[in-house]
Amino acid sequence: MSQSQLIIGLHAVRTALKHGDAVTGVRVEARRRDGRIKEILGLARQGGVDVIQVERAELDALSRGENHQGVVAFTQAPAVRDEGYLKRLLEGLDSAPFLLVLDGVQDPHNLGACLRTADAAGIHAVITPRDRSVGLTPVACKVASGAAETVPFVQVTNLVRTLKWLQEQGIWLIGTVGEAEAGLYQADLKGPLAIIMGGEGKGMRRLTREQCDALVHMPMLGAVESLNVSVATGVCLFEALRQRISD
């Protein structure tokens, strides 16, 4: 059975009600009557979701110090998909696959930010290894602001084996490493594509790197040597999106 999770704040609750199908209940501050709360009440009513008005102190206790903005929601944890789902997903696409692979991201804040960016860029699925990677924790889901419900999250047992299978399906694997000779902006990112980002600290593992069809780097003109993985993911995905919509 799926575990229940708490969604906190106006934007996160609104997104869950609009795009998720697992919201089981909403709690709103009894004294709130503004337009944003009314919108959430309307969305809940449309979805048949129970709404209970409570005092602010109850919301404070539920959110444990986070800024709830007068509303929280209870929801079933987003689904974690497997290799079988990924195969069915690719078979059903009517456009070139556009995937994000996260090799060993362990910080839930980074995962949540990557999911949010993946949703904005039109990624078909986010793929991670089952081991040594963070999953869809409550923190990751909160940071994702609803993207954990809209972007399929696939955990695989053997990442290298999955990458080999993706190549067999005609998907080009682009890895990102600082020492690569080719630059991100010179790479062709228009066709069937999986962009692979390494985890915090060590980056991509050796076997993952060796499986890539090409490696690219992002230009860095300042003193720092690398970007946070979620920031780097945003740069890469939106360069790919720019190329993919420019035709």
Residue numbering of the annotated binding site? 198, 227
Q: Which residues are annotated as a binding site for S-adenosyl-L-methionine?
A: 198, 227
First to last CA, the chain: 45
The torsion angle over the Cα atoms of residues 143, 104, 194 and 95, rounded to 10 degrees, is -40
136 close to 164: Cβ distance less than 8 angstroms: no
Helices (H), the chain: 10-19, 35-47, 56-63, 83-92, 108-121, 138-144, 147-150, 159-168, 206-211, 229-244
- Whole-angstrom distance, CA of residue 99 vs CA of residue 128: 11
In degrees and rounded to multiples of 5, residue 211 shows phi and psi of -85, -15
Q: Token pair 């934007």 is at which residue? A: 11
Q: Token pair 């890895």 is at which residue? A: 175
133 close to 61: Cβ distance less than 8 angstroms: no
- Whole-angstrom distance, CA of residue 138 vs CA of residue 150: 16
